[in-house]
Structure 1
């Protein structure tokens, strides 16, 4: 069973990589190109930044899911809960940092992501 979970983790991580790379190259980049912008995307750098980081946050979530799959496969039943909570906490923290940096603190999700990250790892560190 652990080999199936590792395979699932690898596929999920590759899915996240392909999503970010191909999405940026074939969808987000062209959509945000100056000659293609219309409406709100033409007027607001903030809206363009939100669209870009929201797209890539999906990949971060998939990488977090891949980390959980790998952690459960490698940790064994006794440590699986700790490994899972650590992976969830890291995923939430990374998401919060991405939102904070990309939006320069203007998007209100970053403190929620970071608070959830701390709360997720409390059982691990307590």
Structure 2
């Protein structure tokens, strides 16, 4: 179960970074009205890009923890709660249109089941 959850997180991270870079960040950075911080919009663009991709990096980290520490009930429960809340936020704020909520709920369920079933 945890391997499946880990694979889902890696795929979600890759999809997030690749599609986000191509369809969101690239289009956003073409705009001429981004805030100019520290003299230009380069800092703004760098910060947005960093914040976008660090989310994917965090998901890769969660995936690694699930593989490396599968017997840590506290870790599994924490991961389950983090992804359940992430699923709720995603579903609520996008009105269910952004399908990440589905992946987050599956990851939450798999880690919760692993915490109780060993």
Normalising by structure 2, we get a TM-score of 0.54
CA RMSD, Structure 1 to Structure 2 (Å): 2.2
The answer on whether the counterparts of 1:20 and 1:55 sit within 8 Å (CA) in structure 2 is yes
1:15 maps to what in 2? Answer: 12
Aligned length: 72
SS in 2 for 1:40: coil
Establish whether residue 60 from structure 1 lines up as the match of residue 57 from structure 2.
yes
2:22 aligns with one of 21, 25, 43? 25
Q: Among 35, 55, 58, which residue is 1:40 paired with? A: 35
Distance 2:25 2:45 in 1: 9
Gaps of 5+ in 1: 85-126
**Uncovered stretches (5+) of structure 2, i.e. residues with no partner:** 76-118
What is the CA–CA distance in structure 1 between the aligned matches of 2:65 and 2:32, rounded to whole Å? Answer: 38
TM-score in terms of structure 1 length: 0.51
| Kept after mapping to 2: 8 A contact 1:9/1:67 | yes
The Cα shift of 1:41 comes to: 5.5
Please state which structure has a larger fraction of its residues in helix.
Answer: 1
Deviations 1:52-80 (A, max 9, x none): 1110000000000011111124xxx4xx5
